[in-house]
Amino acid sequence: MALLEVRDLTVVFQRKGEEPFRAVDGVSFDVEPGQTVGLVGESGCGKSVTSLAIMGLLPKRGAKITGTVSYDGTDLLKLSDREMRDRRGRDLGMVFQDPLSSLNPVVPIGLQVTEVLERHRGMPRKEAMIEAKDLLDKVGIPDPNRRLKEYPHQLSGGMRQRALIAIALACRPKLLIADEPTTALDVTIQAQILSLMKELVQDLGTALVMITHDLGVVAGLCDEVNVLYGGKVVEKAMRHKLFAEPRHPYTHGLLASIPRLDAAPGEKLTPIRGSVADNIPWTSACAFAPRCPNALDVCRAETPAEVEKLGRLLRCHNPVVPGTPAAEEVPV
């Protein structure tokens, strides 16, 4: 049985006097123990909302969540606030995007690590401090004894993210969710953090849900990849298969838009036209149709159904034929 089974997860934001907004629309995916699964898409596709819904961190008021999120057989969405509080940080850890703003500026790093150990493992402060030192050591923070007493502003960006990873993994959760953990970091630090995460999840046998817009991150880390667009999974496949043979025009476009080092000087980049609409028409039509080079009349009329074939899930009326080169250049 999978460690995490997300089925038909739907999140609708409803504000007074405004149209309901369907941020996540029937997302399903599995995470096996120890597996790394990617959720990929551009800003606004629903990937962060998906992760917050799994963690139970969406506001109670204004967000309607349906579907099931079963962790080890328990539906997390049915748990009470208190039961979910007991699980967060113990069974599920999370690493966020901006390491500076994600750490409390007025609390020493040490306490920010030990408080989670005190909470879930019942350790006394002293014992927790020793464990915290080991944890900082494990995530590659030099001189951990000194760092424990320091405050977030005294650490570099990379070290802050290492500290957050240490916090998220402090109680050895079976599942770690990382929401764009490298986006706010320098490129060289990004690589270090990614290899650290890869090493840690392998050592600890932790399953990882990696949320990113960066296909480079996916290529280096993920076993299976879910491509999200407009709150829906539009293509899902194992990483190699997806990279070798993208079928959804959106996936194809994402891969084609990666700048290549071997391109001739002066060669133009290949972007995907347009941007994510603020309010995608949810009733009918494929959400990607307005930006799709392959769009047919049927795409604008009805939502494509989910089709699973040969280990690939696809939601498209007119998929890209394997072997098609990148779409023609389009004026930006």
Partner 1 sequence: MLRYTIRRLIQLVGVVLVLSMLLFAWLRLLPGGPVSALLGERATPESREALTKQLGLDQPIFVQYFKFLGRAATGDFGVSTGVQPGDSALDIFLQRFPATIELSFFAIVIAIAVGVPLGYLAAKRRGGWFDNLSVVGSLIGVAVPVFFLAYLLKDVASSSLGLPSQGRQDAIDATRVTGFFTLDGLITGEFDATLNALEHLILPAIALATIPFAVIFRITRAAVLDVLDEDFVRTAEAKGLTAPVIRRRHVLRNAMLPVVTTIGLQTGALLSGAVLTEKVFSFAGVGQALAIGFERRDYPVLLLLIIMATIVYVVVNLLVDLSYALIDPRIRTR
Task: Report the interface residues with partner 1, using CB under 8 A.
Answer: 55, 57, 84-90, 93-94, 96, 98, 101-108, 111, 115-116, 119-120, 151, 153-154, 164, 167-168
Q: Which helix (H) or strand (E) holds 49?
A: helix 47-55
Q: How far is the CB of 87 from partner 1 (least distance, A)?
A: 7
**Which is nearer to partner 1, 151 or 282 (by Cβ)?**
151
The residue type of 221 is L
> Token pair for residue 189?
């630090």
SS3 184: coil
- DSSP per residue over 206-225, as a string? -EEEEEES-HHHHHHH-SEE
The residue type of 309 is K
Q: How far is the CB of 150 from partner 1 (least distance, A)?
A: 9
Q: How far is the CB of 106 from partner 1 (least distance, A)?
A: 5
> Token pair for residue 123?
């350790």
**Which is nearer to partner 1, 93 or 304 (by Cβ)?**
93
Q: How far is the CB of 153 from partner 1 (least distance, A)?
A: 5
**Which is nearer to partner 1, 121 or 213 (by Cβ)?**
121
Q: How far is the CB of 232 from partner 1 (least distance, A)?
A: 25
**Which is nearer to partner 1, 164 or 225 (by Cβ)?**
164
**Which is nearer to partner 1, 31 or 55 (by Cβ)?**
55
**Which is nearer to partner 1, 128 or 242 (by Cβ)?**
128
**Which is nearer to partner 1, 121 or 241 (by Cβ)?**
121
Q: How far is the CB of 30 from partner 1 (least distance, A)?
A: 22
Q: How far is the CB of 237 from partner 1 (least distance, A)?
A: 30
Yes or no: say if 162 and 123 are a contact pair by the CB < 8 Å rule.
Answer: no
* Alpha-carbon span 329 to 332, nearest angstrom: 9
Closest by Cα among 197, 228, 233 to 213: 228
Phi first, then psi: what are they for 181, rounded to 5°?
-70, -15
SS3 151: coil
* Alpha-carbon span 323 to 249, nearest angstrom: 13
**Which is nearer to partner 1, 117 or 320 (by Cβ)?**
117
Angle at 323 between CA 320 and CA 328, to 5 degrees: 65
**Which is nearer to partner 1, 55 or 200 (by Cβ)?**
55
Q: How far is the CB of 308 from partner 1 (least distance, A)?
A: 33
Q: How far is the CB of 233 from partner 1 (least distance, A)?
A: 24
Q: Measured between alpha carbons, how far is residue 292 from residues 7, 186, 278, 302 in Å?
A: 27, 32, 17, 15
Q: Write 96-100 long-range contacts (CB < 8 A, 24+).
A: 96/164, 96/179, 96/181, 97/179, 97/180, 97/181, 97/183, 97/184, 98/183, 98/184, 99/157, 99/160, 99/161, 99/163, 99/164, 99/184, 99/185, 100/152, 100/153, 100/157, 100/160, 100/184
